[in-house]
Amino acid sequence: MEDIQTASTPKNITVCNSREEGSLKVAELIANEIKAKQEKGENIVLGLATGNTPKDVYKELIRMHKEEGLSFKNVISFNLDEYHPLAPEHHLSYHRFMDEQLFNHVDINRENINIPTGICKVDDVEEHCNSYEAKIESLGGIDLQLLGIGRNGHIGFNEPGSEANSKTRKIELHEVTRGDASNEFEGLEHVPLHAITMGVETITKAKKIVLMAFGKGKAEIMKQAISEPMNSKVPASYLQTHRSIDYILDKEAATLLSQTH
Ligand code: F6R
């Protein structure tokens, strides 16, 4: 695998030849973290994302499980977000996504899977969010957080306006986010108005973060996320000062970076 690294590219930004290469690289990184913890007899707490971006990562992890014996028995997972309201059985829920894209195909213990609920009563949302935070804390925090990025700079569903100290909470989805989901939902009117998401702080507290961005549709927001001063208009910009973040991009998503570095 050949990474395109120019003298001006910061070390923690890897520009891969393709989405496939980037995904293999991320899958390998995750597998190595899982195995390192297994060797110590420890669990690993993974923060997981949905959307198109991580699909090939999950595919490769499944291949590693089936062909190379990679076990997920020591994995405790926390997903970033879920639409609200949306039943877990709904074909577009992130519960379904995770089952279909990863969990149904590996040996993870079902009781180790955590995803914000999309069916919580409005009055119970706050308590649900607080206990999601508390559970992450009680397990020692997230060891490795996988992220995609929205075209509006969201991470998880931390939409523009989300502050650095935000925690798991219910959020109103931004028009860009709902617009991007409207095809899948077969019409904007069917896209949920809200979601439950881990906060920016919940994410930045992770010990390691890997943010992936593929395709030219992510070029402009990657430029802003990496090079603009940190601000709540681009929540992903709050990752800039994280002590261990790797940005994995394909060439298309990186097209505007050379102009800024
Ligand atoms: C999904 C999530 C979102 C996506 C982002 C990019 O769990 O947290 O922030 O990562 O919307 O979506 P894709 O990968 O479909 O471009």
| Per-residue pLDDT tens over the stretch 46-58 | 999 999 999 999 9
At 2, is the pLDDT very low, low, confident or very high (cuts 50, 70, 90)? very low
Q: Is 246 left (phi over 0), alpha (psi -120 to 50) or beta?
A: beta
What number of H helices and E strands is found in the chain? 7, 11
pLDDT tens digits for 17-30? 999 999 999 999 99
Q: What distance in angstroms lies between residue 93's CA and the mean position of ligand 1's atoms?
A: 13
201 neighbors 166 (Cβ within 8 angstroms): yes
pLDDT for the residue numbered 30: 98
pLDDT for the residue numbered 125: 98
* Ligand 1 close to Cβ of residue 179 (< 6 A): no
What is the C-alpha separation between 177 and 60, in angstroms, rounded?
A: 27
- Residue 230 clears pLDDT 80, i.e. is over it: yes
* Ligand 1 close to Cβ of residue 53 (< 6 A): yes
> Which is the closest atom of ligand 1 to the Cα of 155?
9
Q: What distance in angstroms lies between residue 50's CA and the mean position of ligand 1's atoms?
A: 6
What percent of the chain shows pLDDT beyond 70? 94
pLDDT tens digits for 131-144? 999 999 999 999 99
* Ligand 1 close to Cβ of residue 50 (< 6 A): yes
Average pLDDT over all residues of the chain: 95
Closest protein CA for atom 4 of ligand 1: 148
Task: State mean pLDDT over 184-191.
Answer: 98
pLDDT for the residue numbered 9: 54
Task: State mean pLDDT over 113-132.
Answer: 97
For the chain, the 3-state helix, strand and coil shares in percent, each to the nearest 5, are 40, 20, 45
Give the H/E segment covering residue 35: helix 19-39
* Ligand 1 close to Cβ of residue 33 (< 6 A): no
pLDDT for the residue numbered 260: 44
pTM: 0.95
**Picking from 2-16, 36-50, 223-237, which range would have the lowest pLDDT averaged per residue?**
2-16
Task: State mean pLDDT over 6-21.
Answer: 81
At 258, is the pLDDT very low, low, confident or very high (cuts 50, 70, 90)? low
* Ligand 1 close to Cβ of residue 88 (< 6 A): no
* Ligand 1 close to Cβ of residue 156 (< 6 A): yes
Active site residues: 81, 152, 154, 159
What percent of the chain shows pLDDT beyond 90? 94
Distances, alpha carbon 135 to alpha carbons 62, 115, 138, 161, 205, in Å: 26, 12, 5, 26, 14
At 83, is the pLDDT very low, low, confident or very high (cuts 50, 70, 90)? very high
> Which is the closest atom of ligand 1 to the Cα of 148?
10
45 neighbors 145 (Cβ within 8 angstroms): no
Closest protein CA for atom 2 of ligand 1: 156
